[in-house]
Amino acid sequence: MGKLTTHVLDTMNGCPAAGMRVRLYRLQGDAPALVRELTLNHDGRADAPLLEGDAFVLGAYRLVFDVAPYFRGRGVVLPEPPFLDTVPLDFGLADAAAHYHVPLLASPWAYSTYRGS
pLDDT at 117: 84
- Please give the CATH topology (third level) of the domain spanning 3-113: Immunoglobulin-like (2.60.40)
Which residues does the chain have with pLDDT short of 50?
none
Identify the CA nearest to 64 among candidates 88, 31, 48. 88
Q: Hey, how many other C-beta atoms are within 10 angstroms of the C-beta on 47?
A: 9
pLDDT at 29: 86
